[in-house]
Chains A and B, each alone.
Chain A
């Protein structure tokens, strides 16, 4: 979190900063010499400046324990001549997503499919985000699970086509921007993993974070690269599109936005279930838009299927979103 203070350069001042030390750590300070700063518990005192009239600082914020907390940040300017104090204070809201299972556990689920109707699902998995931050969640199956997650059949053609064009576009980019070759190759590598599994895990989140930072750095260095990178996505999309896929991709988009503050990563992937009792053993992996890691939620759930043949149920159908924070309802 950056902070700066500007004052009349003709006035000589001392500055005291009061900050929440459990949530913030000073990592960079500008226009100040090492010998002119004293840091004690939650207080920074600066007695002189390289060029009077400006102080810049950068704090590293920690992931908060409670999903949202407001803390006060205070700056006190003391006139060195008159000792008069001028105080500025600012409340800062720290927030993060907080995914919970409101009922403490998941119940046995029953899925019934009659010949001429949509599957009727009772006791869906109830989860909620009671934090203010946006959570990205992904459901994955463990090896011991007798239910596996599969790619939606109707999307596989689109995904394949999209991915092939996308790879070609990235190759063009590598030639056009050889300085980002390694970065693009890493990006393609992780895309390849996601293309095959479409599941997030801790390792992938870690790698995504690294690549995300690398790409943003490159975009910052080279706006043309950002433009071309975004174009590569669009070209791949437009070349792989046909009528049904246009509808399908939009449905995927809206289904993945589960409720306010939850993005369901693999919403359209399906669980392949056979008639009778199915034991699903899996995990809900949670991250946020900055790729911070949160404790995953273990899922042990028995699913009883009342149908004549095996069925494929999209992941978004399995969840029920709680009311903990504001829901996505129309507010106009």
Chain B
């Protein structure tokens, strides 16, 4: 490299080097499994997927039975597994119950009596990835707020593989499934905008009233309070606050979110902002979780998360039954 760069640059080979140790282990795990299987079965094909949220490696192995094993008991595979399924093609009949027994310690048994000649089977095995950080070594993922002045607030999401050729050496088919992406969507400004000014004043007056000991002043505050709520349709302030809290329930907030392009919406939760301590009660952000998949053929994904601010504001305003101006 001929470089005039202010900072050192990391290349794919650097990341591949970091990942090699763990990829070797995964390969060894898979090879052991296939070696065991090969003794009694004919392997027709194999694929691997990584399932992100659960940090699992998921192998799918297609096989047929060697004639000499049929009807002859079972075979034990002593490798740790999380989930296992066995299906028979072409109808994709799930025969896990009949043919597989998961052992209490580790491993499983395939009961050969349940298998038939000339049938193609797919064994799906999931096991934990030893180093959960491995997928972060393989993928770079980031989000960025677009122009904050837009009426629909847009956040770009971006995920890409850091190296391909090293992965290709290990796996002919490779997929990272359900890569999860969290974006903090700011809601505080829209809450503030949507609140009637007099509501803020009302809260101040109520709290002043509670603190106040002077009878004359307390009476003045009571009158002030009545004046403020006179024009409002809904009088019960606690119900209003409850309804406001309800807007942050995932099922409600979901309506204001659109996830486009290569990503799909998964879930949202009330955001946690650390500098807000000890008042984290009213969220300034909602954390929206979106998912995408990456493969060697599609090594990068771009998503667009849109927060429909005006709809959100309209909903907050409706809580106060405020008429639009």
Q: How many A-B residue pairs have CB under 8 A?
A: 221
Partner of A4, one of B1, B158, B281: B158
CA distance A260 to B148 in the complex (A): 11
- Residues of chain A within 8 A (CB-CB) of B160 are 2, 4, 30, 56
Contact across chains for A230 and B272 when beta carbons are under 8 A apart: yes
Please give the distance in Å from B298's CB to the nearest CB on chain A: 8
List of B residues within 8 angstroms of A215 by Cβ: 274
Is the pair A332, B203 in contact by a Cβ cutoff of 8 Å? no
User: Which residues does chain B contribute within 8 Å of A159, judged by CB atoms?
Assistant: 278
Q: When the two chains form the complex, which single residue of A115, A194, A329 contacts B278, counting CB atoms closer than 8 Å?
A: A194
Contact B164 A51 (CB under 8 A): yes
- Inter-chain contact A243/B191, CB cutoff 8 Å: no
Across the interface, do A37 and B1 meet the contact criterion of CB distance under 8 Å? yes
**In the bound complex, how far is the Cα of B302 from the Cα of A166, in angstroms?**
38
Does B161 contact A230, Cβ atoms closer than 8 Å?
Answer: no
The answer, yes or no, to whether B21 is at the interface (CB within 8 Å) is no
Which residues of A, 57-80, contact B by the 8 Å Cβ criterion? 58, 60
Question: Does B172 count as interface, using CB distance less than 8 angstroms?
Answer: no
Instruction: Decide if A326 is an interface residue (CB 8 Å cutoff).
Output: yes
Which one, A221-229, A271-279, A293-301, is touching chain B?
A221-229
A132 contacts the other chain (Cβ, under 8 Å)?
yes
Q: Report whether A6 and B300 are in contact in the complex, using a CB–CB cutoff of 8 Å.
A: yes
B71 at the interface (CB under 8 A from A): no
Known: A37-B1, A37-B3, A163-B278. A257 touches B164 (CB 8 A): no
Give chain A nearest CB distance to B169 CB in angstroms: 11
Bound CA span A32–B164, Å: 10
A-chain residues with CB within 8 Å of residue B310 when the two chains form the complex:
332
B264 at the interface (CB under 8 A from A): no
Docked complex Cα distance between A37 and B132 (Å): 32
Secondary structure dominating the interface of B: mixed
Residue of B nearest to A34 (CB): B1
CB of B180 closer than 8 Å to a CB of A:
yes
User: Is B282 a contact of A229 with CB atoms below 8 Å?
Assistant: no
Do A51 and B165 touch across chains, with their CB atoms under 8 A apart?
Answer: yes
Q: Tell me, in angstroms, the Cα distance from A37 to B3 when the chains sit together.
A: 8
- Asked if B6 and A249 sit within 8 Å, CB to CB, the answer is no
Q: Does B193 contact A (CB under 8 A)?
A: yes
Q: How many residues of A contact B (CB 8 A)?
A: 89
Asked if B118 CB lies within 8 Å of chain A CBs, one says no
**Contacting pair A54 B164 (CB below 8 A):** yes
Residue-wise interface mask of B (234-275) relative to A, using a CB-CB cutoff of 8 A (1 in contact, 0 not):
000110010010000000000000000000000001111011
Interface residues in A15-56 by Cβ distance below 8 A to B read 25-35, 37-41, 50-51, 54, 56
Q: Contacting B216 at CB < 8 Å: which of A60, A116, A190, A234?
A: A116
A252 to B278, CA, bound (A): 11
Scan A79-122; emit 1 where CB is below 8 A from any B CB, else 0: 00000000000000101000000000000000000011110000
Q: When A4-B158, A30-B161, A116-B216 are in contact, do A254 and B195 touch as well, CB less than 8 Å?
A: yes
Which residue on B lies nearest to A216, using beta carbons? B182
Roughly how many angstroms separate A39 CA and B274 CA in the complex, as a whole number?
Answer: 40
Residue contact B200 to A254, C-beta cutoff 8 Å: yes
Interface contact A246-B1, CB-CB below 8 Å: no
Which residues from B are CB-within-8-Å of A162?
A: 278
With A249-B281, A251-B203 already in contact, the answer to whether A28 and B10 are too (CB < 8 A) is yes
CA distance A29 to B1 in the complex (A): 12
Determine if B163 and A332 form an interchain contact, defined as CB atoms under 8 angstroms apart: no
In the bound complex, CA of A287 to CA of B275 (Å): 10
A134 at the interface (CB under 8 A from B): yes
Chain B, range 295-323, C-beta contacts under 8 Å to A: 296, 299-300, 302, 310, 313-314, 317
Name B's A-contacting residues (CB within 8 A).
1-13, 15, 53, 55, 132-133, 136, 140, 142, 144, 146-149, 158, 160-165, 168, 180, 182, 186, 188-189, 191-195, 200, 203-204, 206-208, 210-211, 214, 216-217, 220, 237-238, 241, 244, 269-272, 274-282, 284, 287, 289, 296, 299-300, 302, 310, 313-314, 317, 324-325
Please provide the 6 A-B residue pairs with the shortest distance between their CB atoms, ordered closest to farther. A253-B282, A4-B300, A50-B165, A56-B160, A39-B3, A257-B192
A residues sitting closer than 8 Å to B (CB atoms) are 1-2, 4, 6, 25-35, 37-41, 50-51, 54, 56, 58, 60, 93, 95, 115-118, 132-134, 136, 154, 159, 162-163, 166, 187, 190-191, 194-195, 200, 208, 211-212, 215-216, 219-223, 226-227, 229-230, 233-234, 237, 243-244, 246-257, 260-261, 263, 265, 287, 326, 328-332
Q: Given contact pairs A2-B140, A117-B220, A191-B278, enumerate 11 new A-B contacts (beta carbons under 8 Å).
A: A6-B299, A6-B300, A28-B162, A34-B1, A38-B3, A93-B147, A132-B149, A221-B55, A230-B269, A230-B270, A330-B194
Can you report 13 A-B residue pairs in the complex whose CB atoms are below 8 A from each other? A6-B299, A26-B9, A33-B13, A56-B140, A115-B214, A118-B208, A195-B277, A230-B269, A230-B271, A247-B206, A263-B284, A331-B193, A332-B324
